[in-house]
Amino acid sequence: MNLTESLLHALKDHGARQIFGIPGDFALPYFRIIEESKILPLYTLSHEPGVGFAADASARINASLGVAAVTYGAGALNMINSVAAAFAEKSPLVVLSGGPGQGESRSGLLLHHQAKTLDSQFQIFKEITCDQVRLDDATRAPADIARVLASCLRHSEPVYIEIPRDMVAQPCAPVVAEGAQPVDPDALAACVDEILARLAGASSPVLMAGVEVRRYGLEAKVAQLARRLGVPVVTSFMGRGLLADQDVPLLGTYMGVAGFPEVTRLVEGSDGLFLLGEIICDTNFAVSETKIDMRKTIQALNGRVTIGYHTYSQLPLAAVVDRMLACLSAGDKAFTVTPQVFPHGLAADAQTITPTDIATAVNDLMAVHGKLPIASDTGDCLFTAMEIQHTALVAPGYYATMGFGVPAGLGLQAATGERPLILVGDGAFQMTGWELGNCQRYGWDPIVLVFNNASWEMLRTFQPESSFNDLSHWGFAEMAAGMGGDGVRVNTRAELKAALDHAMATRGRFQLIDITIPSGVLSETLARFVAGVKRLNAVK
């Protein structure tokens, strides 16, 4: 076995199912081995940000490793934003980069793709990955690979692996995976006793599920936990899409002033708010009129459980959930909640289209044809996604990068084989929409809804006086054919419904629906958000 084969087998053994990438001369040798060994399928895209987003989405949807393979310098540095997004939102993304061979630096010449020093790239990636290795020693490589992949899964954060181009075919032993780290049983028992006592003592406990629940594959167990505790469940904004397929008393998504008032009241009025696997960030918690006192919550995050004024460290989230389940008696507590009703029953008339009409049309579509997983970009499309019934969702809810939606949708289809729905604004589509041209090579056929308001509308809501937020109206529908898909522009609700039905019935080519949204028209959720933020700012 050579070094690249040893790495590829290790990736597969740790849960990776495919690689997304773009080669370059520093990467050609290891890409050849990826292709010829057939250990993992390789999907090439057009631009490195898309490679990173697709690999990140594959990691999120399957709760396993995603792999992004690039070349040194121009390739890897082009992917910084995507890796930063994965780091911020705790997605286990493995970055593979080619690199200069030993001795290449000795020529006395600067090497092409070199930024400052040959080590600059490694140093830059250190900031946005939790572990790194340069595979410059074939004897040490198996242990180094085992450590880095274990770190990736343990922390659910990106890692960086650089493969010098003269090392790829060196003989190398197979990687032996690291074992699980020991957990202090006394600390675990004390921690879980305390959580359960707090919840039992609360008159209005609520469980809020966050992204780590999915990252660590705990959705079914957390659903069981909620049933046994008999507590209502909400997700955070970032956690939207979690527990969508579980039997669980799921009320909705907490969004403070932008959310459904019943959910907001329940969460802000809870005296036992159990934050499970949350990222404690502004998009999850800042937009509230009644500030949640974090010191009064129970925060169970991977590796850190904080109750009141003290913290238990080094307890994996899975161990905490397992132990809680073991301590609770087996039966479910009888419990009902009134789930949120999402808009449905679109009037297929000649009216112009609002974002909430799009949510309504999607809800109608899913009621007939079953759920589709969704990849959403940043912008009003993500607020609109909150009005669509609970279904698997990948979106940059905290890091809020544009450009995520389209490549993430491709990542979803590659990783699951399921046909995804992609929600994307016109501004974001201008960034990475071209990646759709790769669907024809791989038989992907996402349904793409472009929210075309000819505007950076989210920005306009914050600063209406600036005319730089006006975009021209691009004809995305016309571009689809040249990229191997079908495109249609819709201006009325009747046209939207007809286009969605047609897209659903047409398989094998991507289906782009370019939806004209009149200027200044927001989803109901974004309108609540804007009004709420203005209210909050007015009282400051």
The binding site for ligand TPW (CB under 6 A) comprises 378-380, 400-403, 425-428, 451, 453, 455-459
CA distances from 317 to 62, 184, 295, 301, 321 (A): 18, 13, 20, 6, 6
CB under 5 to 8 A by kind: which of Mg ion, ligand TPW, none does 400 bind?
ligand TPW
User: Looking at 89-97, 123-131, 184-192, 425-433, which segment touches Mg ion (CB under 5 A)?
Assistant: 425-433
> Least distance to ligand TPW from the beta carbon of 381, Å?
6
Extract the tokens encoding 330: 């087996």
Residue nearest to Mg ion (CB): 425
Half-sphere exposure of 450 (CA within 13 A, CB side): 35
If the CB atoms of residues 299 and 401 are measured against ligand TPW, the closer one turns out to be: 401
The total number of residues shown for the chain amounts to 540
Residue nearest to ligand TPW (CB): 425
> Least distance to Mg ion from the beta carbon of 428, Å?
8
CB under 5 to 8 A by kind: which of ligand TPW, Mg ion, none does 521 bind?
none
> Least distance to ligand TPW from the beta carbon of 88, Å?
12
- CA torsion 54→55→61→65, rounded to 10°? 180
Strand order in the sheet with 298-301: 250-253, 233-235, 205-209, 272-276, 298-301, 304-307, 310-313
> Least distance to Mg ion from the beta carbon of 427, Å?
5
Check if the beta carbon of residue 215 is closer than 8 Å to that of residue 90: yes
In whole angstroms, how large is the CA radius of gyration of the chain?
A: 24
If the CB atoms of residues 73 and 427 are measured against Mg ion, the closer one turns out to be: 427
- CA torsion 429→28→113→137, rounded to 10°? 120
CB under 5 to 8 A by kind: which of ligand TPW, Mg ion, none does 142 bind?
none
Number of residues counted as binding Mg ion (CB under 5 A): 6
Neighbouring residues of 43: CB distance < 8 A, sequence distance ≥ 6 = 18, 19, 20, 21, 54, 410, 414, 438, 442
CB under 5 to 8 A by kind: which of Mg ion, ligand TPW, none does 84 bind?
none
> Least distance to ligand TPW from the beta carbon of 129, Å?
20
φ, ψ of residue 426 in degrees (nearest 5):
-65, -35
Neighbouring residues of 10: CB distance < 8 A, sequence distance ≥ 6 = 142, 145, 146, 149, 174, 175, 177
Q: Strands 486-490, 447-452: parallel, antiparallel or unpaired by DSSP?
A: unpaired
> Least distance to Mg ion from the beta carbon of 469, Å?
9
If the CB atoms of residues 126 and 473 are measured against ligand TPW, the closer one turns out to be: 473
> Least distance to Mg ion from the beta carbon of 460, Å?
9
Binding mask 446-485 for Mg ion (x = CB under 5 A): -------x-x-x----------------------------
Handedness of CA 206, 210, 216, 221 (dihedral sign): positive
> Least distance to ligand TPW from the beta carbon of 398, Å?
11
If the CB atoms of residues 34 and 449 are measured against Mg ion, the closer one turns out to be: 449
| 425 touching Mg ion, by CB under 5 A | yes
If the CB atoms of residues 386 and 522 are measured against Mg ion, the closer one turns out to be: 522
If the CB atoms of residues 167 and 436 are measured against Mg ion, the closer one turns out to be: 436
CA distance 70 to 379: 28
Neighbouring residues of 368: CB distance < 8 A, sequence distance ≥ 6 = none
> DSSP state, 470?
B
| 89 touching Mg ion, by CB under 5 A | no
> Least distance to ligand TPW from the beta carbon of 53, Å?
11
CA distances from 362 to 144, 403, 419 (A): 47, 22, 14
If the CB atoms of residues 4 and 455 are measured against ligand TPW, the closer one turns out to be: 455
Instruction: Choose which of 357, 426, 435, 514 interacts with Mg ion (CB under 5 A).
Output: 426
User: Looking at 110-118, 249-257, 259-267, 420-428, which segment touches Mg ion (CB under 5 A)?
Assistant: 420-428
Q: Which residues make beta-bridge pairs with 487? A: 512
> Residues interacting with Mg ion, by CB under 5 A?
425-427, 453, 455, 457
